[in-house]
Amino acid sequence: MDEPVLGETVRRGELHARFGGTPQGAISPSSRSQMVMLFVAEQPVLDGFTGWGDDGVFHFAGAGMTGDQEMTRGNLALLRHKEQGRAVHLFHQLPTPPGHHGRFYRHLGRFEVDPSQPYHLVDAPDTYGDMRTVIVFRLRPVGATYLDGPRLPVTPPAETLFFDKVPELASAPQRRQPQESGGAIVKRLTSEYASYLSSLGHEVTSAQVLVKGEMSASRIDLLDITENRLIEVKHSAARQAVRTAIGALMDYRRYFQPTPTLTLLVPAVPREDLLDLCASLCIEVVWPNPEGGFTSTHD
């Protein structure tokens, strides 16, 4: 059986008439032609996750509009296309020409799922705005390709990257305002504590971690290089803020060698049970002292 012609423009219905497969959905496996056809919308629903990356890979968001995407049905057929003896062909939707009807696609070429890193997982909203897990396949060209279609604004790294980022820590501590937003409180506490540590002779910075496969970096509020300490700053000492901080600190800690100690900086002393929770996890808690400086559970 013949294959689609590179660069050809064709109606989707004609493709299914020639090669089989399902007429709906972004992933269309066909046992009749031993093919998996992938269809990219003119403006992908998951914009920013589907398209060409700077790594020469076409990143393709999997099937599933609501809830966590699962490695079943079309997603599984794409993942296992080699062992099932199926060729993967990618098509990009074009504007419908005047006087015509139907959906027109350009054939971008034949691809294969990257054997070394087949896919990565990202967080993205579904059609109802609820956050869920999305499968993003990494497709490598097989032979010639037609370099058309969307491009990613940011290419996910193949390995986790760590960046030192020196923020504006040398500036004088900001004055407390009568009514502060949560963001203003975090900014003021960060500046005050950084200045305090610097006065003790500590080298202080902030950092970013760009996790393998992720599109955006996670910011670490403060990094005390002298004491190898990660510091998460929260605008409140309430239970939810403390819980969120614990999760962030545990997450960040994995990317540092040697393993750092963990500190939570809050604007006031938390409740006793929250202090006990942090102590059970070996997390230091720090808050401003009304008489100047800071109080620590490690004092």
Share of the chain above pLDDT 90, in %: 68
pLDDT at residue number 241: 95
Q: How do the domains of the chain map onto residue ranges? A: 9-145, 161-296
pLDDT at residue number 123: 86
Checking if the pLDDT of 175 tops 70, the result is no
Q: What average pLDDT does the segment 243-249 reach? A: 95
Place 264 in a pLDDT band, splitting at 50, 70 and 90: very high
What pLDDT digit, counting tens, does each position of 11-41 carry?
999 999 999 999 999 999 998 999 999 999 9
What pLDDT digit, counting tens, does each position of 62-89 carry?
999 889 999 999 999 999 999 999 999 9
pLDDT at residue number 231: 96
What pLDDT digit, counting tens, does each position of 186-205 carry?
999 999 999 999 999 999 98
Place 171 in a pLDDT band, splitting at 50, 70 and 90: very low
> How far apart, in Å, are the Cα atoms of 265 and each of 27, 55, 80, 83, 289?
47, 39, 48, 52, 12
pLDDT at residue number 212: 73
Checking if the pLDDT of 91 tops 80, the result is yes
Three-state secondary structure along the chain? CCCCCCCCEEEHHHHHHHHCCCCCCCEEEECCCCEEEEEECCCCCCCCCCEECCCCCEEEECCCCCCCCCCCHHHHHHHCCCCCCCEEEEEEEECCCCCCCCCEEEEEEEEEECCCCCEEEEEEECCCCCEEEEEEEEEEEEEEECCCCCECCCCCCCCCEEEEECCCCCCCCCCCCCCCCHHHHHHHHHHHHHHHHHHCCCCEEEEEEECCCCCCCEEEEEEECCCCEEEEECCCCCHHHHHHHHHHHHHHHCCCCCCCEEEEECCCCCCHHHHHHHHHCCEEEEEECCCCCEEECCC
pLDDT at residue number 47: 65
pLDDT at residue number 165: 54
Share of the chain above pLDDT 70, in %: 91
What pLDDT digit, counting tens, does each position of 45-65 carry?
666 789 999 999 999 999 998
Judged by average pLDDT, the poorest of 121-130, 166-175, 205-214, 218-227 is: 166-175
Q: What average pLDDT does the segment 270-294 reach? A: 96
Query: Which class is 161-296 in CATH?
Result: alpha beta
Mean confidence (pLDDT) of the chain: 89
Interhelix angle 239-253/272-280, nearest 10 degrees: 10
pLDDT at residue number 163: 65
pLDDT at residue number 178: 60
pLDDT at residue number 80: 97
What pLDDT digit, counting tens, does each position of 100-122 carry?
888 899 999 999 999 999 998 88
Place 166 in a pLDDT band, splitting at 50, 70 and 90: very low
pLDDT at residue number 122: 87
The CATH code that applies to domain 9-145 is 2.30.280.10
